[in-house]
Amino acid sequence: NTVTDYDPDEIERKISISSAVCFCEWKDHKVNIVDTPGYSNFLWDTKASLRAVDAALVFVCGVAAVEVGTEKVWEMLEEHSLPRMIVINKLDRENANFGRTLDAVQQFFGRQAIPVELPIGEEKNFAGVVDLIEKKAFLFEKDESGKMSEGPVPAAMAEEVDRRSKELIEMVAESDEKLMEKYLEQGELSPDEFRGGLKRAILGHQLFPVFAASGLTNVGAQPLLDGMIAYLPSPVERDGVKAVVKGQDQAIQPSPDGPFSALVFKTISDPYTGRISLMRIFSGRMNPDGTVTNSSRDTDEKFVGLFFLQGKEQISAGQAKAGDIAATAKLKVTSTGDSLCAKGAGIAFAPIIFPLPSISFAIEPKTRADEDRISQATHRIIEEDPTVRIERDPDTAQLLISGNGELHVRIITERLRKRYNVDVDLKPPKISYKETIKGKADVQGRHKKQTGGRGQFGDVWIKMEPLARGKDFEFED
Ligand SMILES: Nc1nc2c(ncn2[C@@H]2O[C@H](COP(=O)(O)OP(=O)(O)OP(=O)(O)O)[C@@H](O)[C@H]2O)c(=O)[nH]1
Ligand SMILES: [Mg+2]
């Protein structure tokens, strides 16, 4: 979170509010990472980010185990059919317990969540991991440097390691009929058969390998990265991405040699740099400047500048290609969810569907100056966060702000103040009560006035009854 939770609100509240992108290089591979929020108010951003990735790591706390956010994210991952790995993290904490957390994980996500590592030591003595595939131990320095050394499996763990390792082999065999036959015939699988089977089962989301780690004390990162490289799909290993090409359904093959196509999955609206569009490139290459087509809006878009993001830091890129997550600034017409492609290629990906807001407040600008600035500021906020709505209620004339929860709305109003110098009060919205006729009634009213001269007399009969819902009103004379 030190690189990706860079927003002052994230630092202050110690939670991720917005997805952020970073990358690392590991053994000749580039790993693009989108760090997504886990708190329910901000999961819309997590969902949009899933369109940009090929696999997911689900972090589960070794104390709190499966939380509401974990279950919600899991549902999204199922919906997007993404391969995933599970990391039981924070194993250094008091009361952390790998076995108990694993039980909870399996209870929610099935026995397909299968450990490929076991922790060595518990709580503050959590010192490393045993790799159940290689049957090796990796021990980490106590100084949190992350320095690692390899050694034999500790004798006290040998029995459990054998048992868990056998379970893993059986699960891999079960995931594939041919492997099962071999396993039953030979009583074992060769290392190649096993690794190939494990990778296929992970890619097909039949198995979810479970790792052990502590981010804080820097234990377990290298074996996890090795596992990611070995068992998660590289961009070219994923299936073609569904798209509409010139009106026809087609799968876009993830090749750098195809025509350029990308999906803008996020927009950052920075008061200083302006608008930054983050995109996942699905095919082809992108150079630092040029003209592409925004196929969602059927218009050309010029861009100048291409960079990779390391948290908030922009690193200029000479070229980006299929598989990359790249960014460019100051696009004119493009917003989150739009598809970009090479001119004439006509490639459009499905738009990103955002949830409707669940809570509304009335916002009242504090001064006349705040009122003057609010419209432009809210425009910038919505650019970045398409789940926020700001509109006037025609019945009460109040300006309403709607979002995905109270925290979400509060953070937006803080942003209005800090970034755009617009001070507002939040109030509960007025409710405009509406009347309807629910029952039947016959009423009569009589008017009589006789004060000399001509008298007045009126006799009114009214019959009222409801029409079917949605049929509006009908007057019969
Ligand atoms: N003891 C311990 N604390 C940790 C570890 N990893 C993270 N934390 C602490 O847990 C808190 C949350 O960590 P984050 O990395 O922000 O967690 P997150 O899953 O990104 O949270 P959201 O993005 O807000 O959902 C912070 O206070 C961290 O310092 C760990 O391995 N051990
Ligand atoms: Mg976070």
pLDDT tens sequence across 356-376: 999 999 999 999 988 889 988
Q: Which of 90, 95, 224 for mutating ligand 1's site (highest number of atoms within 8 Å of CB)?
A: 90
Q: For the segment 391-409, what is each residue's pLDDT rounded down to a tens digit? A: 999 989 999 999 999 999 9
**Structural domain includes residue 437:** no
Domain ranges, residue 388: 359-427
Atom from ligand 1 closest to the CA of residue 214: 31
Q: Is 251 part of any domain?
A: yes
Q: Are 303 and 289 in contact (CB under 8 A)?
A: yes
Last residue of a domain, one of 201, 233, 265: 233
Place of tokens 């994980």: 105
Q: Which atom of ligand 1 is nearest to the CA of 215?
A: 31
Kindly state the average pLDDT of the residues 126-152. 95
pLDDT digits (tens, 9 = 90+) for 311-348: 999 999 999 999 999 999 989 999 999 999 999 999 99
**How many angstroms separate the alpha carbon of residue 15 from the centre of ligand 1?**
8
Clarify whether residues 171 and 271 are in a common domain. no
Banded pLDDT at 1 (limits 50, 70, 90):
low
* pLDDT higher than 80, residue 452: no
Average pLDDT over residues 117-123: 97
Is the confidence at residue 295, as pLDDT, over 70?
yes
Model confidence band, residue 472 (pLDDT cutoffs 50, 70, 90): confident
Looking at the structure, tell me whether residues 72 and 176 fall in a common domain. Answer: yes
> pLDDT-derived band of residue 117, with 50, 70 and 90 as boundaries?
very high
The answer on 135 and 86 residing in a single domain is yes
- Amino acid letter at 77? L
Q: Which residues are bridge partners to 460 per DSSP?
A: 445
What integer is the mean pLDDT of 97-105?
97
Residues 162 and 219 in one domain: yes
- Residue 103 has a pLDDT of 97
pLDDT given at position 284:
96
Mean pLDDT of the chain: 93
Number of Cβ within a 10 Å radius of residue 383:
15
Domain boundary pick from 410, 427, 444: 427
Q: Whose CA is nearest to atom 26 of ligand 1?
A: 14
Any ligand 1 atom below 6 A from CB of 288? no
How many domains does the chain divide into? 3
- Asked if the structure places residue 286 within a domain, the reply is yes
Q: Is the dihedral of CA 399, 405, 406, 412 positive or negative?
A: negative
Interval 190-240: pLDDT, tens: 888 999 999 999 999 999 999 999 999 999 999 999 999 999 999 988 889
Confidence of residue 436 (pLDDT cuts 50, 70, 90): confident
- Ligand 1 atom with the smallest distance to the CA of 39 is 25
Residues 127 and 61 in one domain: yes
* Residues 83, 217 share a domain: yes
How far apart CA 69 and CA 75 sit, in angstroms, is: 10
For residues 214 and 258, state if they share a domain: no
What CATH code is carried by the domain that includes residue 363? 3.30.70.870
401 and 253 in a common domain: no
Q: Is 100 within the bounds of a domain? A: yes
The number of beta carbons lying within 10 Å of the beta carbon of residue 272 is 5
86: domain CATH number is 3.40.50.300
Query: Could you tell me what percent of the chain has a pLDDT over 90?
Result: 78
Q: How far is CA 291 from CA 245, 288, 311, 352, in A?
A: 19, 10, 27, 23
- Quick: pLDDT tens for 66-93: 999 999 999 999 999 999 999 999 999 9
Q: What's the pLDDT at 78?
A: 96
Same domain? For 69 and 194 the reply is: yes
Is 33 within a domain?
no
168 and 70 within one domain: yes
**355 — pLDDT class (breaks 50, 70, 90):** confident
| Cα–ligand 1 centroid distance for 6 (angstroms) | 14
Q: Residues 382, 270: one domain?
A: no
Q: How does residue 437 score in pLDDT terms, banded at 50, 70 and 90?
A: confident
Q: Is 278 in the same domain as 373?
A: no
Q: Please check the confidence at residue 7 and state whether its pLDDT lies above 90.
A: no
Tell me whether residue 136 is in a domain. yes
pLDDT at 12 over 90: no
